[in-house]
């Protein structure tokens, strides 16, 4: 999604040259051009499908394509092998033009076993390319996947371009003299498949070669085995009389810049580190492992030298509690979690609201309620973020729209938390967390300043005096002579912070805190309208990871002359000050979100607009086709 359509066609450095044995043979077969290709890799959760997907993504990014990915894996680490429950998938859309989504349906399905085929076949286009590991279609595997007859031979796959390849056998042959066990040899299948697909789509393979060399440096026999498998797959594509041609997806018209490929969880972690550095304070993460947020903890644990403290707490509450304690001491305190953890943290977040300490809570949303579908995305925590605490406890809420946007949003969340002395909730979701896209790496010097000024002057110091403009209270950290004071969850007197049960004072403090949060709206930039700035028939309002599908749907409808626009929110509390006026410019407002209508409720309550909901609660992103259909019907209705 890093692509600007108006930008000139770029030259991509370091792409195209093939290394090693494969070098120079790529042109032996004809090459067909494709604008974009959607591939889905599917196999057992132990088959290394996520790894293949990520490497293929890196190759594609380095080839200069625009990319969008959708990993889709089970919560079980190793569900029984060969079963539908254990199928792990990775979908990648790579394109020579601007794309916004991982694609509705794959053009190419790679199925490493019958279960991978059974779970994904319904999504494959008729005449789509279907590549299977023929060796995996044994009677027992077929039975486990629920097949009563072998689809490879019963003509049920006749409407697809089926390629049956003996991936298991050919991989074993490639490594037969290395003394590996059958199991070790079997585990090289994913690199064989990656090699094959890399040939088929003319991917630059240097990055994968380097990756294998780095990853298996300490186990030379596995390095050799995976490298051989990778090259064998590549050469098979080239040599075997199976694929008539390979395909080429040229570089996209990409805005000039320095790029890297990034997932949402990585971007979130980097945004926090960058913010802490800009603030000149150590970063402290208190967190309890939870899917799909744990990668932020993993990533941050590698940045100790920055300095970054990562505390893997005994539970969700201790994670947020420790972050509040660190913030009390002057660190940038953050906690990361997913829905169930957000529930558990609610009381502690209320304490941060009351004591007015900076804190960022990241909720990588997943499908609920309760344990729900831990690896699947949803957007049903918005109202929990808004109202999921007892008492009047308003909190700024920011939501990231794309994987790379997680960087900006994490950074912005820290900036607001520190400036306004308040906890801030950052909402991402499982799709953003694991999805990847090219990212123009920002210039650190151009990031917004984050100013931290601790109180130091004992003269007239009181913990609850307020900055005239922001209404934020002083950050007075222990260790400062003369500022000794006590804070706590009990209602406290204005200015002094002393415990107070005065009715009028309580209302004053509640209103002061509410005004402080509402005042953040001053900083929200004017709402951007994609489409008709002066209003037209319908605007689709969204937030979070639905940005891509909505943008693509609106683009497609506009190309057909429909008067449809898009407004996408980053700031959910407070809402942009101009939003009501902007929405009123349109005859119809549709709120598209992966829940039962949570932003919809907020918009109706806030602006008295009879908005229409467009909702999905399947643990899956919107398909573009679903949105175009529903928007189309709303336009007619």
Partner 1 sequence: MATALSRKDFVSDQEVRWCPGCGDYAILAQVQKTMPELGIARENIVFISGIGCSSRFPYYMNTYGFHTIHGRAPALATGLKVTRPDLDVWVVTGDGDALSIGGNHFIHVLRRNVDLKILLFNNRIYGLTKGQYSPTSEVGKITKSTPMGSVDFPFNALSLGLGAHSSFVARSIDVEQKHLGEMLKRAHAHRGSAFIEILQNCNIFNDGAFDDVSDKQIKAEHQLILEHGKPLIFGKNRDKGIRMNGMRPEVVKLGGEFTEKDLVVHDETNFPSAFMLANFEAPMPTPLGVFYAVARPTFDGAMNKQLGDAKTKMGAGDIKALLHRGDTWTVN
> Are 428 and 365 contacting, i.e. CB atoms less than 8 angstroms apart?
yes
- The DSSP H or E segment spanning 502 is none
Task: Give the footprint of partner 1 on residues 69-128 (CB under 8 A).
Answer: none
Beta bridge partners of 495: 464
Task: Give the footprint of partner 1 on residues 524-553 (CB under 8 A).
Answer: none
CA distance 309 to 327: 12
Q: Which is nearer to partner 1, 325 or 535 (CB)?
A: 325
The minimum distance between CB 118 and partner 1, in angstroms, equals 34
Task: Give the footprint of partner 1 on residues 137-166 (CB under 8 A).
Answer: none
Q: Could you say which of 199, 259, 543, 547 contacts partner 1 (CB under 8 A)?
A: 259
Task: Give the footprint of partner 1 on residues 395-414 (CB under 8 A).
Answer: none
Within 8 A by CB and 6+ apart from 629, the residues are: none
175 binds partner 1 (CB under 8 A): no
15 binds partner 1 (CB under 8 A): yes
The minimum distance between CB 32 and partner 1, in angstroms, equals 25
Q: Which two tokens stand for residue 577?
A: 């000050």
261 binds partner 1 (CB under 8 A): yes
* Closest alpha carbon to 576 in 522, 513, 516, 517: 522
Task: Give the footprint of partner 1 on residues 347-366 (CB under 8 A).
Answer: 347-348, 350-351, 355
Cα dihedral angle (54, 55, 61, 64), rounded to 10 degrees?
A: -150
Q: Which is nearer to partner 1, 340 or 519 (CB)?
A: 340
* Closest alpha carbon to 10 in 18, 2, 22: 2
The minimum distance between CB 364 and partner 1, in angstroms, equals 21
b/e sequence 347-373, b meaning 16+ C-beta within 10 Å: ebbbbbbbbbbbbbbbbbbbbbeeebb
CA distance 66 to 101: 10
The 8 Å CB, 24+ separation contacts for 350-354 are 350/389, 350/390, 350/391, 350/393, 350/489, 351/324, 351/489, 352/324, 352/327, 352/422, 352/423, 353/389, 353/393, 353/394, 353/395, 353/422, 353/423, 353/513, 354/393, 354/489, 354/513
Q: Could you say which of 479, 503, 525, 561 contacts partner 1 (CB under 8 A)?
A: 479
Q: Could you say which of 58, 287, 337, 545 contacts partner 1 (CB under 8 A)?
A: 58
- The DSSP H or E segment spanning 270 is helix 264-279
b/e sequence 471-490, b meaning 16+ C-beta within 10 Å: bbbbbbeeebeebebebeee
Q: Which is nearer to partner 1, 173 or 344 (CB)?
A: 344
Stretch that binds partner 1, among 99-107, 165-173, 218-226, 473-481 (CB under 8 A): 473-481
Q: Which is nearer to partner 1, 275 or 631 (CB)?
A: 275
Task: Give the footprint of partner 1 on residues 411-440 (CB under 8 A).
Answer: none
30 binds partner 1 (CB under 8 A): no
Give how many residues touch partner 1 by CB under 8 A.
77
The minimum distance between CB 351 and partner 1, in angstroms, equals 5
Task: Give the footprint of partner 1 on residues 264-293 (CB under 8 A).
Answer: 270, 273-274, 277-278, 282, 284, 286
Task: Give the footprint of partner 1 on residues 287-346 (CB under 8 A).
Answer: 303-309, 311, 313-315, 317-319, 321-331, 333
The minimum distance between CB 213 and partner 1, in angstroms, equals 14
The minimum distance between CB 201 and partner 1, in angstroms, equals 17
Q: Which is nearer to partner 1, 333 or 435 (CB)?
A: 333
């Amino acid at each position: 999604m890093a692509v600007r359509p108006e930008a000139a066609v770029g030259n991509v450095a370091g792409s195209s040259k093939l290394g090693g044995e494969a070098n120079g043979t790529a042109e032996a077969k004809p090459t067909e051009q494709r604008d974009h290709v959607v591939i889905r890799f599917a196999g057992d959760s132990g088959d290394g499908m996520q790894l293949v997907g990520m490497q293929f993504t890196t190759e594609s990014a380095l080839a200069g394509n625009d990319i969008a990915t959708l990993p889709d894996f089970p919560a079980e680490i190793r569900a029984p092998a060969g079963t539908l429950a254990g199928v792990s998938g990775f979908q990648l859309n790579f394109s020579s033009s601007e794309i916004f989504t991982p694609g509705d349906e794959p053009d190419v399905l790679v199925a490493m076993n019958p279960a991978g085929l059974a779970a994904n076949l319904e999504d494959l286009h008729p005449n789509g390319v279907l590549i299977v590991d023929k060796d995996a279609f044994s009677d027992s595997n077929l039975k486990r996947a629920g097949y009563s007859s072998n689809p490879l031979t019963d003509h049920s796959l006749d409407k697809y371009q089926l390629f049956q390849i003996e991936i298991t056998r050919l991989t074993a042959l490639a490594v037969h003299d290395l003394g590996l066990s059958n199991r070790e040899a079997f585990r090289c299948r994913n690199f064989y498949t990656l090699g094959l697909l890399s040939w088929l789509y003319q991917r630059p393979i240097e990055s994968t070669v380097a990756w294998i060399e780095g990853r298996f440096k300490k186990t030379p026999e596995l390095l050799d085995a995976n490298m051989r498998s990778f090259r064998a797959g590549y050469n098979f594509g080239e040599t075997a009389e199976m694929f008539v041609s390979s395909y080429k997806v040229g570089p996209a018209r990409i805005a000039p810049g320095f790029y890297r490929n990034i997932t949402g969880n990585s971007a979130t972690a980097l945004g926090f580190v960058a913010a802490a550095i800009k603030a000149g304070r150590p970063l402290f993460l208190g967190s309890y492992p939870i899917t799909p947020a744990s990668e932020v903890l993993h990533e941050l644990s590698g940045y100790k030298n920055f300095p970054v403290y990562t505390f893997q707490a005994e539970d969700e509450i201790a994670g947020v509690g420790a972050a509040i304690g660190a913030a009390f001491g002057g660190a940038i305190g953050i906690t990361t979690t997913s829905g169930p953890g957000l529930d558990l943290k609610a009381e502690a977040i209320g304490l941060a609201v009351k004591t007015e300490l900076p804190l960022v809570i990241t909720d990588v949303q997943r499908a609920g309620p309760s344990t729900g579908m831990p690896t699947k995305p949803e957007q049903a925590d918005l109202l929990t973020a808004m109202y999921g605490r007892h008492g009047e406890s308003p909190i700024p809420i920011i939501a990231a729209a794309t994987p790379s946007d997680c960087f900006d949003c994490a950074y912005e969340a820290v900036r607001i938390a520190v400036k306004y002395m308040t906890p801030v909730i950052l909402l991402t979701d499982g799709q953003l967390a694991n999805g990847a896209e090219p990212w123009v790496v920002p210039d650190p010097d151009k990031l917004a300043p984050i100013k931290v000024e601790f109180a130091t002057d004992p003269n007239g110091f009181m913990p609850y005096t307020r900055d005239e403009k922001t209404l934020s209270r002083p950050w007075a950290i222990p260790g400062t002579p003369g500022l000794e004071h006590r804070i706590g969850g009990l209602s406290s007197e204005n200015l002094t912070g002393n415990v107070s049960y005065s009715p009028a004072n309580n209302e004053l403090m509640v209103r002061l805190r509410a005004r402080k949060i509402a005042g953040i709206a001053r900083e929200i930039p004017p709402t951007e309208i994609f489409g008709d700035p002066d209003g037209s028939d319908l605007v689709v309002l969204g937030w979070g990871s639905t940005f891509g599908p909505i943008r693509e749907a609106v683009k497609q409808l506009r190309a057909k002359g429909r008067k449809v626009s898009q407004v996408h929110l980053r700031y959910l509390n407070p809402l942009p000050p101009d939003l009501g006026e902007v929405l009123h410019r349109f005859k119809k407002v549709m709120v598209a979100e992966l829940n039962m209508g949570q932003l919809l409720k907020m918009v109706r309550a806030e602006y008295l607009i009879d908005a229409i909901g467009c909702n999905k609660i399947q643990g899956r992103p919107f398909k573009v086709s679903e949105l175009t259909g529903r928007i189309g019907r709303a336009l007619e209705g």
